[in-house]
């Protein structure tokens, strides 16, 4: 049976399909936001259809955790965008 796990040293501790680097939030984004079928995502990621559905179920069973992950990712994206737009410091 497929399990969803979290370890600090893989994907920054985000929930993922056990023994993979496939994150729950990534699966959700591909299926729901990306418009891909679960079967297509399973094929793209080399996972079973059951693993994809387990990840989707986990997403829906943990809405607060997923909301927090989305906010963290958005904050990181904004910070990186800001830093990348800053001119480099001149060293004299």
pLDDT in tens, 4-23: 999 999 999 999 999 999 99
CATH class label, 4-83: mainly alpha
SS3 47: coil
Domain boundaries, the chain: 4-83
Q: Tell me the two tokens of residue 55.
A: 């990840």
Q: Which pTM does this prediction carry?
A: 0.84
- What whole-number distance in Å separates Cα of residue 92 and Cα of residue 44? 50
pLDDT in tens, 35-87: 999 999 999 999 999 999 999 999 999 999 999 999 999 999 998 888 777 66
């Amino acid at each position: 049976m497929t399990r969803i796990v979290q370890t600090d040293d893989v994907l920054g501790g985000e929930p993922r399909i056990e023994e993979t680097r496939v994150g729950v939030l990534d699966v959700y984004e591909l299926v729901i936001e990306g418009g891909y079928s679960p079967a297509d995502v399973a094929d793209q990621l080399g996972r079973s259809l059951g693993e994809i559905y387990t990840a989707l179920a986990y997403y829906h069973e943990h809405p607060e955790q997923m909301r927090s992950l989305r906010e963290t990712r958005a904050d990181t994206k904004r910070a990186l965008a800001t830093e990348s737009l800053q001119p480099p410091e001149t060293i004299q």
